[in-house]
Amino acid sequence: MSKFEPVLLRNRGVKDSARLSVYESRGGYQSIRKVLNQSVDEVIEEVKKANLRGRGGAGFPAGVKWGFLPKDRTKTLLCVNGDESEPPTFSNRVLMEVDPHQLIEGTLIAGYATKSQVAYIYLRVEFHEQFHILQKAIDEAYAAGYLGKNVFGSEYSMDCYIHRGAGAYVCGEETGLIESIEGKRGWPRIKPPFPAVSGLFNLPTVVNNVETLSCLPHIIERGADWFANVGPSHSTGPKLFCISGPVKKPGCYEAAMDITVRDLIEREDMGGGMLDGKKVKAVFPGGVSMGVLTADELDMKMDFSDPANYGLLGLGTAAAVVVNEDTDIRTVLRNVAKFFGTESCGQCTQCREGTSWMYKIAMRIEANAGRLEDLDILLETSRNMGMMPGLSICGLPDGAKFPIETVVSKFRGELEERIRSQSSDVKEVLESYR
């Protein structure tokens, strides 16, 4: 494993780190000054060279995404995705709490590179404290002339606003986020057109995650070569990892993407091991939607490539949920199914009906009224959902089906044993679910 020094969290623990004066005393706002003396193409090429991949879940290269904007556009909008609804992800929240000016500087750099005149930071409504911290930082930046007209005395101008969402998971999808900012219900849009061509208010729009933009000041400050040499060649740069569940030190940690799930759980400077000497039963390493690992799969690397080797959807938000040996896997199945059944926007039949039926089946299994064929029905239902089979508008059903598929497939033995050992007198329970 490569040696690593905190970058994104370098100001965590510093007194008054959210204040402009403290951020500048530690080198802040030097990168945007440098960028304003470069051409747009130079900035984009630097980001491409760094191979900065989106930290919001998809892992798509940011510089390439910016290149999709029409060359002849006259106005561009920038949306900063701080919705962070993937359970139990809180890395964006930490960044906004401890270093809001880092995000503002990253937003300015992205805005300059994409020729955006207005930035909207989309914040989940539950982030009350973070909203006030971030708004105070924005006010400080305006007062200093770092936002608004003629940023740092240059010809570039950009306004920045916070838009608070209503707490919908589906608004983490970029077009659902755009619909929400426009004041509509957060339903994802049918694509094409893609946001780069016609997004917010029908204008060319770029949507980037909070952590993604927070990387930009460091790429400019230290250079693309530095960033590209942190971690594996296909998963470069510093990354934030969350860990929650029955570990000794749940929290948000920073490392290169060559760490393993086992590292995240056991290292003294991270999770610190399991509570009460319990063993790991399962881990959802990338947020719930990416799928589950068994205790024998903890050597999976937390990068953009290795999760596929374990049957997972991807790295996702790199937020690990640990399940200990005492947990009934039926409860895990029901909790996951309930979340996605609740959060489906209902626009696509397969997602609306599929997530609802998977939840009902999972409840029945947990209530000692399951049937062995229910496991096959869960798998069949999940395999008929998602963008990848071409059956939905957004990726929510993909995120809904992967945890169901992987839990049923990897823990089928336990589920079958639970079903076989349940009481034979289940008629009353079955009737309650009809």
pLDDT value of residue 17: 97
Question: Span 311-340, mean pLDDT?
Answer: 96
Residue 320: which of 268, 262, 362, 269 has the closest Cα?
A: 262
Question: Span 244-257, mean pLDDT?
Answer: 97
pLDDT value of residue 5: 87
What pLDDT band is residue 166 in, cutting at 50, 70 and 90? confident
Instruction: Give CA–CA dist 297/317, Å, rounded.
Output: 19
Place of tokens 């920038």: 78
In the predicted structure, residue 432 carries a pLDDT above the cut 90:
no
| Segment of 139-143, 343-347, 417-421 carrying the highest mean pLDDT | 139-143
Q: Number of helices (H) and strands (E), helices first, in the chain?
A: 17, 9
Express each pLDDT in 130-164 by its tens digit: 999 999 999 999 999 999 999 999 999 999 999 99
Give 432 or 225, the one with higher predicted confidence.
225
* Domains of the chain and any CATH numbers: 20-228 (3.40.50.11540), 238-324 (3.10.20.600), 329-432 (1.20.1440.230)
What pLDDT band is residue 425 in, cutting at 50, 70 and 90? low
How many residues are listed for the chain in this entry? 434
pLDDT value of residue 386: 86
pLDDT value of residue 422: 83
User: 187: which residues sit within 8 A by CB, 6+ positions away?
Assistant: 170, 176, 179, 345, 347
SS3 letters across 183-230: CCCCCCCCCCCCCCCCCHHHCCEEEEEHHHHHHHHHHHHHCHHHHHCC
What pLDDT band is residue 235 in, cutting at 50, 70 and 90? very high
Express each pLDDT in 36-86 by its tens digit: 999 999 999 999 999 999 998 888 999 999 999 999 999 999 999 999 999
What pLDDT band is residue 204 in, cutting at 50, 70 and 90? very high
Helices (H), 73-198: 91-98, 100-114, 128-144, 174-181
User: 184: which residues sit within 8 A by CB, 6+ positions away?
Assistant: none
Instruction: Give CA–CA dist 194/402, Å, rounded.
Output: 25
What pLDDT band is residue 390 in, cutting at 50, 70 and 90? confident
pLDDT value of residue 58: 83
What pLDDT band is residue 388 in, cutting at 50, 70 and 90? confident
pLDDT value of residue 427: 53
Laid out side by side, the sheet with 251-256 consists of 251-256, 238-244, 319-324, 280-284, 293-294
In the predicted structure, residue 423 carries a pLDDT above the cut 90:
no
Strand 205-209 and strand 76-82: the pairing is parallel
Q: What is the overall mean pLDDT for the chain?
A: 94
pLDDT value of residue 71: 93
